[in-house]
Structure 1
């Protein structure tokens, strides 16, 4: 049987629930879950059932808007108090992904212009839907600009999963590969497995195969050898937060790739929407780095692989210094050094 090639997506809004692709189960099981209440949204984000900075923001927006739609009060002040409580609850789910806070704050701004509870409920849902639909166009534009930047480069490495299942569609770092396939442009993608949760192995490799993109899986420790022996021409990654000076937080292992690019004199690109920039973080030193459970390192698929009493350090992200980044690809265009100036000019006005 011939496989039907399509760009997979992970989020689908219905009137009383958000349907999500359970990314914990991939690639062995393709399972969709219905999120109906605030606790289910929170748990889905924390447990990585839904992941990727844009998808986290979209999910949180729907979660907060849906929770607000169920408040049993006609008093606008009481409504806003409940909203603020639930907003804080969701904001605590993933501290590094700035899109989460951006989306929640965008809903918060809706309440500045409403007169009644019914108006608030309607406008919050509409804003969440708008965030979702806007993201697809943003990702498509990022892909178009990325194709221009990559130009004649066809062997490209990436880490983690900054693809269509981490956004509304297309993705950020993976967007040029999906768009390239639609346009008949062939890439050879080398996907790092991305320990400890294996988002590259479980998600990126699966997603690109679904879309018909040529993808080869490697372990993270093979990156230097692969760049040298396979002639990798560029590295492109996503981002969970970008500081005002261009320092970028992304999945742990990203800064290692940037250092390798510097050694091998190939470009290192970051692809992210404008909502991922945090101008209140002046440098990477201001970005909070989430630390996750020790079991992510000491076990694989539930099997223990390390001594029970060994100390574990498990940061989920690292920060890549701006001087290692050749360009930051956004829906507004490609930003180049001096990043403080180019970010301030392109993003500071948003």
Structure 2
């Protein structure tokens, strides 16, 4: 059975609470931005694409319910901008939410400059933009899987292929299909030189793969690539509460007095990404990524 991370119809959003897995499957309503912020921060929803989708769709639900100024278009634009800034702050390492917030603000700004535009026009634009992200995510993920599978099979045409995946890269991290179904690791942010931030433990896996001559791939939609950051040293690394490691379901399992440093991500240097970086537009060596993304955008 394939689980859905996100269930959405206009005016209604619910998410699978991943903190309860595997013992319980429970979908919970997200009625607006505050609930989405809590779900993202607490990791009820996880995976960079899913975080961006839940954030944007929660804003759509909030606006559909009538939140924000009713008649003042500039005030509504400011309201949307503030709500997006709040969502971006929930998980700083995953760049997808920040990228989609930037795109949504830009689209809203262009719409606001149209003659005679009303607050309701802007409200509808945000809702439609957020809904379009769902379909785009599915299409991008299918392309990533296809590009990755083709590249791996071409590299090993006469051998059976065993694929090890690291991090949640399937349906629970996205809109419902998955990014890394034919590759090794996902990514929450990729710097311009190909250095990649992913869940803690990715770096060790990359070192082991390099030592044993196993091709190491990163699967990431272009929305996870951040060409504004020159290297992985500039990626902000989120630190989680220590209690996530010392306690289980509210019960202390570590000895009293133990302190914990709990970074949620590590950075894999680009030279360890020996297979390539798989995006929805193709598979690229780390050194080719910046130019390839610019070409895809038409820069």
2:142 aligned to which of 129, 140, 152: 140
1:33 — aligned with what? 28
Separation of aligned partners in 1, 2:273 and 2:15 = 33
1:164 aligns with 2:171: yes
1:227 — aligned with what? none
Separation of aligned partners in 1, 2:61 and 2:234 = 32
Separation of aligned partners in 2, 1:75 and 1:123 = 15
Summarize deviations over 1:286-310 as a string: whole Å, max 9, x none.
Answer: 1000000001111233332212221
2:41 — aligned with what? 46
2:156 — aligned with what? none
1:270 aligns with 2:235: no
Separation of aligned partners in 1, 2:118 and 2:212 = 60
1:83 aligns with 2:32: no
1:333 aligns with 2:282: yes
Residue 158 of structure 1 and its aligned partner are, at CA, apart by: 1.9
Separation of aligned partners in 2, 1:302 and 1:29 = 17
1:99 aligns with 2:96: yes
SS in 2 for 1:18: strand
Residues 204-283 of structure 1: pairs in structure 2 closer than 5 A: 236-283=184-231
User: TM-score with structure 2 length normalisation?
Assistant: 0.91
**Structure 1 segments (4+ residues) deviating >6 Å:** none
Task: Report if the CA contact (8 A) 2:15-2:30 is conserved.
Answer: yes
Separation of aligned partners in 2, 1:302 and 1:243 = 37
Separation of aligned partners in 2, 1:51 and 1:129 = 19
- Structure 2, unpaired ranges of 5+: 112-116, 154-158
For the structure 1 residues 153 and 59, does the alpha-carbon distance in structure 2 shift closer, same or farther, using more than 3 Å as the test? farther
Separation of aligned partners in 2, 1:153 and 1:248 = 28
SS in 2 for 1:289: coil
2:132 — aligned with what? 130
2:292 — aligned with what? 346
SS in 2 for 1:250: strand
Task: Report if the CA contact (8 A) 1:7-1:170 is conserved.
Answer: no
Residue 153 of structure 1 and its aligned partner are, at CA, apart by: 4.5
Separation of aligned partners in 2, 1:38 and 1:44 = 10
Summarize deviations over 1:126-162 as a string: whole Å, max 9, x none.
Answer: 1111111110011011111121123145222222211
Summarize deviations over 1:245-268 as a string: whole Å, max 9, x none.
Answer: 000000000000000011111111
For the structure 1 residues 284 and 153, does the alpha-carbon distance in structure 2 shift closer, same or farther, using more than 3 Å as the test? farther
Separation of aligned partners in 2, 1:145 and 1:302 = 43
- Structure 1, unpaired ranges of 5+: 1-5, 177-234
Separation of aligned partners in 2, 1:282 and 1:67 = 36
Residue 37 of structure 1 and its aligned partner are, at CA, apart by: 1.8
User: TM-score with structure 1 length normalisation?
Assistant: 0.78
Residue 348 of structure 1 and its aligned partner are, at CA, apart by: 2.2
Decide which moves more: 296-305 or 131-140.
Answer: 296-305
For the structure 1 residues 263 and 11, does the alpha-carbon distance in structure 2 shift closer, same or farther, using more than 3 Å as the test? same
SS in 2 for 1:88: helix
Task: Report if the CA contact (8 A) 1:279-1:348 is conserved.
Answer: no
Summarize deviations over 1:194-244 as a string: whole Å, max 9, x none.
Answer: xxxxxxxxxxxxxxxxxxxxxxxxxxxxxxxxxxxxxxxxx7000000000
Separation of aligned partners in 1, 2:232 and 2:163 = 25
Separation of aligned partners in 2, 1:278 and 1:34 = 31
Separation of aligned partners in 2, 1:328 and 1:37 = 34
For the structure 1 residues 302 and 160, does the alpha-carbon distance in structure 2 shift closer, same or farther, using more than 3 Å as the test? farther
